[in-house]
Amino acid sequence: MSEQKDRVVLAYSGGLDTSVAIGWIAEQTGAEVVTVSVDVGQGGEDLEVIRQRAIDCGAVEAYIADARDEFANEYCMPALAANGLYMDAYPLVSAISRPTIVKHLVTAARRFGASTVAHGCTGKGNDQVRFEVGITSLGPDLKCLSPVRDLALTREFAIEYANKHDLPIETTKNNPFSIDQNVWGRAIETGFLEDIWNAPTKDVYQYTDDPTYPPLPDEVIISFDKGIPVAIDGQKVTPLEAIQILNRRAGAQGIGRIDIVEDRMVGIKSREIYEAPGAMTLIEAHRELENVTLDREQARFKRTVADQWTNIVYEGQWFSPLKKSLDAFIESTQEYVSGDIRMTLHGGRATVTGRRSDTSLYDFNLATYDAGDTFDQASARGFIEITGLPSKLAAARDVSFGNGEDLGESVLS
C-alpha cells in the first residue's frame, strides 16, 4: 500500500491565480492540493461551480463553506461594537474577512491531513500577514506557503500555464483593478488608482451609486439591542440582513465611498478605494446610540481601547491574547447600547435625526433651559473652583518664581 502524499490546503477564490496555483503547488512541492472556498457575502459565482472548477484544475478535495451568517455575527458585529475604522476611515473590510477564512483553512487542514496552508497573497500587502499569523495562531504546527511570493507564480506565467494546460478558467479578461469584497464592503486598488492624483472613475464602484444625483431622501430607523442591530423600520432582522438591507438602501444614496492613502503594515503607503454603505451607516448609528447610553469616562476610555482593537485587527492579530482581552472590555460597554436611531440617507450622507432609548443617560429635565429645569446652577461655582484649583496653584507658583506669563504688554499693545 502506497504512502499518502503530503497535502497542502489552498485558499481558493476560483480565479486565475489560485486555479493555476493548484497544479503549480503540486509540481513544485509534490504535494496534493485541497482547496478551501468560503462565502463571506462576496457575491459572484455559486460555490458549487467553484468547487467543480477546483476539482477540474487538479484538486484532490474541495472544501466549501457558506459563512455569511458566521461572518456577520462573529466578525462584523465585533467590528461594529468597536466602531472599527482604521485611520478613522477604513471599516476593516478585508481585515475581518481573513480570520473568517483562516478558521476554515485550519479546519480543512485538520480534516484532510494537510501540513501546509497556502494563500494567494503577494509579499507587499497586509493580507499575507493576516493569513499567516492567523493560521499559526490556530495551528502552530502548520506551515504557510504563498505561491506568488514563494514559488514565483507571476500573473503572466499564470496565463501561460492556464492556456498550456487547458484549465477551465478565463484568462483573457483584463481587469485593471485588484478587488476584494464581502458583505461588509468592497476594496479596490492598483491600476490607474496608483497615481494618487487620478480621480476614481465610475467603473470603480459597484456597491454605491453616484451621490451627485441621488434619489429622494430615505428615512430609516435602526433598532439595536446591546449594540447589535435587530430591526430595520420595525422589521426584525439578523445582523447579515441588516447589513444587506443597508448596503442596498445606503448604497442607492452613494453612502460609504472612501478614498484614502493608507499606511500598510509593511511600511509603504497605498492608495485604497473602499465602498461600504451598510457598514458606514451602521457605525454612524451605533456611535450615536453610544453617545446617548455610555457614561462619559467609559466612552472616553472605550475610544482608546477601540483604537487599539482596530489597529491590531488591521495588523492580523484577530486571534491574539490582547484582542481577546480588548473584546471583553468592549463587550461590557454594550450592555446598555439599546434603542432606536432614526437617520436620513441622502446624497452620500447618513445623517442622524432622532434617538430614543430606555437605557438612555440623557435627562431632559437636566438638559433643558426652559421651564422644568431641575439642574441646580448654584452648584456650578464650587465645581468650577475645585476643577480649576490645580491650575490656579501651579500658576501662583510660577508667578512667585518669576516664570509666570505676563499678559500686560500683549493686552495693551
> Binding site for L-aspartate: what residues are annotated?
122, 126-127
pLDDT at position 326 is: 98
Does the active-site annotation cover 98? yes
pTM above 0.85, yes or no: yes
Q: Which of 46, 110, 155, 178 is catalytic?
A: 178
Q: For 179-294+336-362, which CATH superfamily applies?
A: Argininosuccinate synthetase, chain A, domain 2 (3.90.1260.10)
178 catalytic, yes or no? Answer: yes
pLDDT digits (tens, 9 = 90+) for 225-241: 999 999 999 999 999 99
Alpha helices, H only, 294-373: 296-314, 321-333, 364-367
* Residue 218 designated active-site: no
pLDDT of residue 411: 46
Q: Please report, in range form, the residues annotated as the binding site for ATP.
A: 11-19, 120
Q: Are 98 and 130 in contact (CB under 8 A)?
A: yes
> Choosing from 7, 53, 68, 98, which is the catalytic residue?
98
What does the pLDDT look like over 332-387, one tens digit per residue? 999 999 999 999 999 999 999 999 999 999 987 776 677 777 777 888 888 999 99
pLDDT at 368: 66
- Known binding residues for L-citrulline: 90, 126, 130, 178, 262, 274
Which residues 6+ apart lie within 8 Å of 39 measured at CB? 47, 64, 65, 66, 67, 68
**Ramachandran region of residue 283, left (φ > 0), alpha (ψ -120 to 50) or beta?**
alpha
pLDDT tens string 90-135: 999 999 999 999 999 999 999 999 999 999 888 888 999 999 999 9
Cα–Cα distance between 264 and 312 in angstroms, integer? 12
Fold (CATH) for 7-174: Rossmann fold (3.40.50)
User: How remote is the C-alpha of 300 from its chain's centroid?
Assistant: 22
> Is 342 or 13 the better-scoring residue by pLDDT?
342
pLDDT, mean of residues 174-196: 88
Residue 106 C-alpha cell reads as 485550519
What pLDDT score was predicted for residue 171?
A: 59
User: What per-residue confidence (pLDDT) applies to 412?
Assistant: 47
| Beta carbons of 168 and 42 less than 8 angstroms apart | no
Q: Mean pLDDT, to the nearest integer, of 293-304?
A: 97
Q: Which of 7, 39, 53, 127 is catalytic?
A: 127
How would residue 409 be classed by pLDDT, with cut points 50, 70 and 90? Answer: low
